[in-house]
Amino acid sequence: MTKFSDLNLDPKVLKAIVDTGYETPTPIQAGAIPPALEGKDVLGIAQTGTGKTASFTLPMITLLGRGRARARMPRSLVLAPTRELAAQVAENFDAYAKYTKLTKALLIGGVSFGEQDKLIDKGVDVLIATPGRLLDHFERGKLLLTGVQVMVVDEADRMLDMGFIPDIERIFQLTPFTRQTLFFSATMPPEIERITNTFLHAPVKIEVARQATASETITQGLCQFKPSRRDRTAQEKRTMLRELIKREGAECRNAIIFCNRKVDVDIVAKSLKKHGLNAEPIHGDLEQSHRTRTLDGFRDGSILFLVASDVAARGLDIPNVSHVFNFDVPNHAEDYVHRIGRTGRAGREGRAFTIATPADDKQLAAVESLLEHEIPRIEAPELPKREIRPRRGEEPRAEPEAKPVQAEAKPEQETGRPRRTRGRRGEPRDNGQVVGMGDHVPDFILRSFS
């Protein structure tokens, strides 16, 4: 069995690895580190949670051991699609480079340009950034990419989903042709394959699992139900989610709940809190400081349920997530794999449940086509009967059954006159009156003109 000590890494890096408690590399690490250390381009394809971050940070630290950074000219560049993933890479770098003198800068949104400019001006060995913020610094004249020796693109397929591919292509063109490129993705859609063919030079391809496969340690389940009414779909899905959490009981130590839309993230989190569950939302519209506090709270256990948009589907390295709930079937089939990959990490067991209505049939078919198997169906919890909201001072009551409406007979007039009945047109009523004249008939109508 291969060990980290067999991979020709810098002794200082090996010492840091020992401190983290790891001895044996994962398959993607064992496959990617040797060619990376030889200076070759690497194309790594592996599902989320397989240790891809260490597979490029460890050889990068070893390769950068010699040399010195110059002002505004980073020696290596790591591109990540989200702030959370970029921050996770930075944490890994700190852990593995703590016995070296290498420096880093983290360029993400939500942080002032001034602080980031100061770091760049000093000169950094490793620059970790999201594409948009990196280009912002470049266009302001604060950054040069002509000194980049190693360039890493992490979660490339997520870059595609988020519309970053034009930015990635531009950044590639700003870096030297002689750079070494380490390119990682969970899936290989045609657009990503085109980029690898264009910018990578004879890469060593490392594929440790079939594309878009879920970990075998994750127990999956699909809960299908038909809403009682279309306008009650969201409300009944929230009830279904709470019932699924209740059904899991003590096994559900914590969970990430994924929604397709940011507005639903807030609504679901508010609903869970209203029913006594410790939940907080996280999505792209929140301030970075707020998102960081929320993630820290979820990591330390002070927050048990994290309601998230797909911005959090990648880059969350929280090893002890027991459950994932898909409140919505994802719009992109690949996102299903990334979502449920937040549980069952590092060989642990995890559970992932998805709530689906008939309106989700198309997206569900795409997910199962990607997985090449059906998601096991589970019995939907029975929803509690809907109660009518009581008025102030009244007791709650169940919704009454609809009854047929019957016309009521009108009482006769109190005048004592006989009730009139409708006769044929032109004929007098039963009481001898002329139709339309009431009780009084003018004399000229009754007068004979013969």
Q: Are 42 and 13 in contact (CB under 8 A)?
A: no
Cα 336 to Cα 220, 313, 342, 367, 374: the distances in Å are: 11, 9, 10, 7, 13
Mean per-residue pLDDT over the chain, rounded? 84
Predicted local distance difference test score (pLDDT) of residue 402: 36
DSSP classification of residue 390: P
Is 49 a domain residue? Answer: yes
The β-bridge relationship of strands 387-388 and 397-398 is: antiparallel
Is residue 223 located within the same domain as residue 186?
no
* 32 pLDDT higher than 80: yes
Domain residues for the domain of 339 are 218-388
> Which segments within 225-271 are labelled E, that is strand?
255-258
Segment (H or E) for 191: helix 190-199
Is 137 a domain residue? Answer: yes
Is residue 203 located within the same domain as residue 226?
no
Is 437 a domain residue? Answer: no
Is 186 a domain residue? Answer: yes
Give the CATH number, domain containing residue 44. 3.40.50.300
Supply 314's token pair: 């990648």
Choosing from 143, 175, 207, the residue where a domain stops is: 207
Give the residue-averaged pLDDT of 216-239: 91
Cα 284 to Cα 38, 189, 243, 263, 292: the distances in Å are: 38, 25, 28, 11, 12
- pTM for the whole thing? 0.67
Segment (H or E) for 53: helix 52-63
Is 419 a domain residue? Answer: no
Predicted local distance difference test score (pLDDT) of residue 205: 94
Is residue 143 located within the same domain as residue 233?
no
Is residue 35 located within the same domain as residue 158?
yes
Residues 6 or more apart whose CB falls under 8 angstroms from that of 6 comprise none
Q: Are 203 and 183 in contact (CB under 8 A)?
A: yes
**Local confidence band at 215 (pLDDT 50, 70, 90 cut-offs):** confident
Residue-wise pLDDT for 163-175, tens only, equals 899 999 999 999 9
HSE toward the beta carbon, residue 286, CA cutoff 13 A: 23
DSSP lists the bridge partners of residue 258 as: 308, 326
Is 213 a domain residue? Answer: no
Is residue 176 located within the same domain as residue 305?
no
* 387 pLDDT higher than 60: no
CA separation for the pair 152, 92 (Å, rounded): 14
Is residue 184 located within the same domain as residue 234?
no
Is residue 374 located within the same domain as residue 267?
yes
The number of folded domains in the chain is 2
Choosing from 353, 388, 423, the residue where a domain stops is: 388
Give the residue-averaged pLDDT of 215-222: 89
Give the residue-averaged pLDDT of 17-43: 93
Is residue 99 located within the same domain as residue 178?
yes
Is 361 a domain residue? Answer: yes
**Local confidence band at 384 (pLDDT 50, 70, 90 cut-offs):** confident
Choosing from 335, 354, 388, the residue where a domain stops is: 388
Indicate the range of 52-56, 386-390, 414-418 predicted with least confidence: 414-418
Is 74 a domain residue? Answer: yes
Residue 305's identity, in one-letter code, is F
Is residue 246 located within the same domain as residue 334?
yes
Is residue 11 located within the same domain as residue 131?
yes
Is residue 381 located within the same domain as residue 359?
yes
Give the residue-averaged pLDDT of 133-144: 93
Is residue 92 located within the same domain as residue 133?
yes
